């Protein structure tokens, strides 16, 4: 018997988009793996973020907490005792069988922001971000609200990488490329001259 899981778009709307304020002018939708940044000459990257200075500090703190939690919870769940690496992503994906994802979804109340599905997606997105930054240290967070709408950005390549959206795709019924391959392909893309 094969288990059919909801697609990533459905899960994003069920678990994530409900936390985006209704007055937010952006369309709440699952994003592409890489997004081109559009800036006018001389414009600062901050124009792409709706956050105030205070909001930016809060989101930066949330991103740091999510990363810290990921670096503690994910290796504990997977019984890993090695430093964070692409092998962690391999182990995580092997662990996240359709049966386990289905069980996680059944035990997660989308009306509660501390549900296990949302937490694991956020920690997975933070881990992906951590590994990308380790491999490409010039990547920085472009904070957004809620924090899972934040992306890593690289000004030289003028791209944003919405890693939390990668996580939702991984924890869904969608066909997807292994996270290791996506991270490696992104780093290769960043290495290409602009």
Contact 37, 155 (CB under 8 A): yes
Greater model confidence, 165 or 3: 165
C-alpha 100/C-alpha 160 separation (Å) is 30
Greater model confidence, 123 or 21: 123
Helices within the chain (DSSP H only):
8-15, 53-78, 86-95, 98-106, 116-135, 163-170, 179-191
Predicted TM-score (pTM) of this structure: 0.94
Does residue 188 carry a pLDDT above 60?
A: yes
The residues facing 36 across adjacent strands are: 159
Give the model's confidence band at 194: pLDDT under 50 very low, under 70 low, under 90 confident, else very high: low
C-alpha 46/C-alpha 53 separation (Å) is 10
C-alpha 168/C-alpha 171 separation (Å) is 5
Residue holding tokens 């939690």?
69
Per-residue pLDDT reduced to its tens digit, 116-162? 999 999 999 999 999 999 999 999 999 999 999 999 999 788 899 99
* CA-based nearest residue to 130, from 185, 168, 122: 122
Per-residue pLDDT reduced to its tens digit, 49-90? 878 889 999 999 999 999 999 999 999 999 999 999 999 999
């Amino acid at each position: 018997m094969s288990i059919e899981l909801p697609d990533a778009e459905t899960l994003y709307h069920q678990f994530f988009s409900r936390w985006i304020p209704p007055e937010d002018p952006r369309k709440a939708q699952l994003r592409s793996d890489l997004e081109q940044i559009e800036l006018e000459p001389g414009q600062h990257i901050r124009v792409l973020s709706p956050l105030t200075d205070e909001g930016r500090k809060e989101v930066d703190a949330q991103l740091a907490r999510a990363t810290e939690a990921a670096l503690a919870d994910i290796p504990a769940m997977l019984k890993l005792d090695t430093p964070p690496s692409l092998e962690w992503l391999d182990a995580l994906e092997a662990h996240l069988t359709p049966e386990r994802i289905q069980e996680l979804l059944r035990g997660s109340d989308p009306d509660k922001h501390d549900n296990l599905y949302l937490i694991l997606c956020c920690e997975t997105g933070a881990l992906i971000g951590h590994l990308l930054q380790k491999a490409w240290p010039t990547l920085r967070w472009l904070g957004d609200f809620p924090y899972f709408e934040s992306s890593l950005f690289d000004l030289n390549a003028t791209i944003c990488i919405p890693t939390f959206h990668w996580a939702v795709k991984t924890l869904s019924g969608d066909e997807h490329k292994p996270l290791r391959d996506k991270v490696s392909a992104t780093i290769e893309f960043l290495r290409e001259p602009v």
